[in-house]
Structure 1
Amino acid sequence: MTRRVIAVGDVNHDILVSPHHTVRPASDTPSTVRFRPGGSAANTAAWLASAGVAVDLVGAIGSSDFDRYVAELEDCGVTPHLQREIGVTTGTIIIIVSPRGDDPTMFTERGANALLSPSAVTPELLSTAAAVHLSAYSFVDGFGVAGARDVIDRASAAGVPVVVNPSSADYIRDFGVDAFRTAARGASVIFPNLEEGELLTGETSPERMIAAFHELAETVVLTLGPDGAMGQHRSGAPVVRVPAPKVRVVDPTGAGDAFAAGFLTSWIERPDLDSAMTSAVQLAARAIMLIGGRPGV
């Protein structure tokens, strides 16, 4: 089997702001400010490429940024397939990074990302793919239930497993829990965090969350932040628990994207859950020691 992965979803400008102390409302707060390329799917693609996996990125971008972003993605080993949207801004996020390493606060403009078409995942791409990584941002504020079903159903018919990475709990609330469950049903793997897990299943116990998610996906991996991850391949199989490496948190932006890339890097070679989750938490640990959501920036 080929090792190519199709990453479907967002390409963004990230503006990362790390205040040096408590924010002073209506005044100046000394901060470190960095501009970085981002977007959940683009980040995952970059981490996959850094691990030696051939990866195609399907996304949408504003026309004024097209040439620069194509070159940038190619430079990091990603093959881009980008819709060029004329007169539309590229997706942009301002990310306020907590000095304590907490989850960041984000101010998001979806821009061209909201215009991505599921037809951009072409039969030609599927014919050489080992897996499709579908960032849920692409359908919870984009091509919707019908588009997600189109991608998952066509990939499944082609024998290509689909991995769904939920977006944010608030985007899912806006989209609707039932709509999300309909859109994601039939995925091979799903990666919720605890907040997303509770929202989508109504359960508070990680074990019960995982059991409930098996209605949607064969393999469920629940991310637990600094406590690592736990997962189960098929209902009734042993639950696997993997601790997270203890590292200094610089910026948690993109940790979930790196987790997905680490998982896929191992999983497409050998679908062993323990090995894939270990690879996932190790790559996520690398990500949180860097500023920005991609490797080597």
Structure 2
Amino acid sequence: MSAALLVLGEVITDIVARHTAPLAPGTDTAAVIRTVPGGAGANVACWAAHRGAPDVRLLGRVGATTAAWHQRLLTAAGVRPHLVVDPHAPTGTVISLVDGGAGAERTFLTDSGTAPRLGAADWTDAFLDGVARLHLSGYLFFTPSGRGMVDAAKSSAHARGVPVSVDPASAGFLGDLGADRFLALADGVDILLPSEGEARRLTGRTDAEGAAAQLSRGFPLVVVKRGARGALVARDGAVRARVPAFPVARTEDTTGAGDAFTGAFLAALLRGSGITDAVTEGCRAGARAVSQVGARPVRGTDGTQGVDGTDRVQGVQGVQGTDVMRGPHGTDGTDGGPC
């Protein structure tokens, strides 16, 4: 029986700068700075593997300099990476400025590098062999090449009866693309997983529940991620469940919390969980993600350290192998770290 999850999306090098004082324009601001692996697609894959998905695969695009580093870390996280190495563009880099205050809000400075070049030419139907679910990062929708990949992968998945999920990924980029265009490109998707801000952007609604309900008229299942307010589950034009968040002792970094939610949610579905239970697992992983620095799960934990382990369902209302593929002119990348 097919049990694999295939994720299509970004592999990114994250530079996380955590500052406790307000940024001081024109001079220095003290910060703790770390270089860590990231990327929405890669983060989802790592969290899915961490939360028990038995076979997680990732198709992404990287530059030659950091290819081996990303390959090694993905494999160590339990993900089977299929990485297309681009000899002409570097791996994407994101500088994340994290406010050390209580909310740990972050601001991103993004150099997409080779990530937007992932396209239909990188796709083959064989990627779906043994795959039970396909997940698409919303960032693919924001570039012409990525949209070609979306069309090719969706077409193959529909032909094989593989359900498809999408996380819209960025309210800002949605504004640039336009809600109507995104929704048209996502037509035929089985599960839409927007944040509250993305749901509002896609519908023009100011209330999360109204936005979730409206979106569920166009998609079989909509799960709206609301951070500290938990999540909404909508089907057939109505909100069907309100799942509470898990409290955390301290919010360290909100980077990747939505990716953690999505990965854990998909892992739970692959294990046979019902929708509400899977959403609860997503909330659990999101709480874990914000209690640490960095967007990937910390190895050696069960994903709940620092998170209230109370059974939240009571509160609900109503590595097998690695491929590094050559880019257009061929290179497999040998440098061992980010630089």
Decide: shared fold, TM above 0.5: yes
1:244 equivalent in structure 2: 245
SS at match of 2:34: strand
Separation in structure 1 between the aligned mates of residue 127 and residue 238 of structure 2, nearest angstrom: 32
The letter for the 2-side match of 1:41 is: G
Separation in structure 1 between the aligned mates of residue 111 and residue 132 of structure 2, nearest angstrom: 32
Separation in structure 2 between the aligned mates of residue 111 and residue 203 of structure 1, nearest angstrom: 34
Separation in structure 2 between the aligned mates of residue 270 and residue 164 of structure 1, nearest angstrom: 19
CA contact (8 A) 1:61 1:82 kept: yes
Query: What is the aligned length?
Result: 296
Separation in structure 2 between the aligned mates of residue 189 and residue 108 of structure 1, nearest angstrom: 27
| Alpha-carbon offset, residue 145 of structure 1 | 3.8
Separation in structure 2 between the aligned mates of residue 119 and residue 213 of structure 1, nearest angstrom: 31
Change (3 A) 1:271 1:149: farther
1:139 equivalent in structure 2: 141
Cα RMSD over matched residues?
A: 1.6
The letter for the 2-side match of 1:209 is: A
| Alpha-carbon offset, residue 117 of structure 1 | 1.6
CA contact (8 A) 1:136 1:165 kept: yes
Q: Percent identity?
A: 35
SS at match of 1:6: strand
CA contact (8 A) 1:146 1:183 kept: no
Separation in structure 2 between the aligned mates of residue 75 and residue 236 of structure 1, nearest angstrom: 41
Q: 68-77 or 104-113, which moves further after superposition?
A: 68-77
TM-score by length of 1: 0.94
Change (3 A) 1:20 1:151: same
Change (3 A) 1:87 1:150: closer
| Alpha-carbon offset, residue 149 of structure 1 | 2.6
Separation in structure 2 between the aligned mates of residue 217 and residue 271 of structure 1, nearest angstrom: 20
Change (3 A) 1:24 1:278: same
CA contact (8 A) 1:189 1:221 kept: yes
| Alpha-carbon offset, residue 32 of structure 1 | 0.8
Whether 2:174 is the aligned partner of 1:172: answer yes
Whether 2:103 is the aligned partner of 1:99: answer no
Whether 2:56 is the aligned partner of 1:55: answer yes
Separation in structure 1 between the aligned mates of residue 212 and residue 123 of structure 2, nearest angstrom: 29
| CA deviation map 1:250-297 (0-9, x unaligned) | 101100100001110111233621101101000111111111100116
Which runs of structure 2 are paired with 1:187-198 in the superposition (5 Å)?
A: 187-198=189-200
Match for 2:187 among 185, 188, 191?
185
SS at match of 1:30: coil
Separation in structure 2 between the aligned mates of residue 24 and residue 203 of structure 1, nearest angstrom: 36
Separation in structure 2 between the aligned mates of residue 146 and residue 81 of structure 1, nearest angstrom: 18
Query: 5+ residue gaps in structure 2?
Result: 300-339
| CA deviation map 1:103-128 (0-9, x unaligned) | 31000011110100235343222121
Whether 2:210 is the aligned partner of 1:208: answer yes
Whether 2:128 is the aligned partner of 1:126: answer yes
CA contact (8 A) 1:116 1:142 kept: no
Separation in structure 1 between the aligned mates of residue 283 and residue 64 of structure 2, nearest angstrom: 36
1:38 equivalent in structure 2: 38
SS at match of 1:64: coil
Give every structure 1 segment of 4 or more consecutive aligned residues whose post-TM-superposition deviation is greater than 6 Å.
none
Separation in structure 1 between the aligned mates of residue 45 and residue 123 of structure 2, nearest angstrom: 15
Query: 5+ residue gaps in structure 1?
Result: none
Separation in structure 1 between the aligned mates of residue 260 and residue 243 of structure 2, nearest angstrom: 16
CA contact (8 A) 2:19 2:99 kept: yes
SS at match of 2:37: strand
CA contact (8 A) 1:21 1:29 kept: yes
| Alpha-carbon offset, residue 208 of structure 1 | 2.0
SS at match of 1:60: strand
The letter for the 1-side match of 2:136 is: L
Separation in structure 2 between the aligned mates of residue 263 and residue 24 of structure 1, nearest angstrom: 39
Change (3 A) 1:215 1:269: same
Which entry has the higher C-alpha Rg, 1 or 2? Answer: 2
TM-score by length of 2: 0.83
Q: 279-288 or 265-274, which moves further after superposition?
A: 265-274
Q: 10-19 or 51-60, which moves further after superposition?
A: 51-60
